[in-house]
């Protein structure tokens, strides 16, 4: 079995500063990476932040319309409402399962057209009401 070796590059302080200076002069990060054979995708960006020139990096600015923001809020509210409804239904399902178990009714016996008495009659007869 052959061992896979991985190359790791260590760049000198002078080299890093030279690359950042060239970036300040207007050359793009991609061009600098190709020119010097810098393989890491965020390596130059890390150097830019490290040497105090974050303004050289591209900023992402999101521009949204008012209705988009409102729609996002409405969707989040709807998701929250649906989560609560699902939790309620889950609790109701668990309660019914427990009720069937206490009443001694097998779930497999419950079908659309069964001869079982209504559940309220079973609970009344066993409860002694």
Using DSSP, state whether 23 is helix, strand or coil: helix
- 49: its two tokens: 């932040």
Share of the chain above pLDDT 70, in %: 81
| 55-85 per-position pLDDT tens digit | 777 766 778 888 888 999 999 999 999 999 9
DSSP 52: T
CA pair distance 28, 30, nearest whole angstrom: 5
DSSP string, 93-128: HHHHHHHHHHHT--GGG--TT--PPPHHHHHHHHHT
Q: Which residue has the higher pLDDT, 12 or 104?
A: 12
| 83-101 per-position pLDDT tens digit | 999 999 999 999 988 988 8
pLDDT of res. 127? 57
């Amino acid at each position: 079995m052959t061992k896979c070796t991985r190359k790791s590059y260590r760049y000198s302080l002078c080299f890093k500063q030279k690359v950042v200076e060239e970036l300040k002069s207007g050359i793009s990060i991609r061009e600098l990476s190709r020119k010097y054979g810098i393989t890491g995708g965020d390596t130059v960006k890390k150097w830019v932040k490290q040497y105090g020139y974050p303004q050289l990096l591209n900023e992402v600015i999101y521009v949204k319309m008012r209705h988009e923001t409102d729609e996002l809020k409405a969707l989040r509210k709807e998701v929250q409402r649906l989560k609560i409804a699902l939790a309620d239904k889950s609790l109701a399902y668990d309660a019914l399962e427990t009720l069937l178990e206490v009443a001694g009714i097998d779930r497999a016996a419950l079908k659309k057209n069964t001869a079982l008495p209504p559940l309220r009659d079973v609970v009344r007869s066993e409860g002694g009401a």
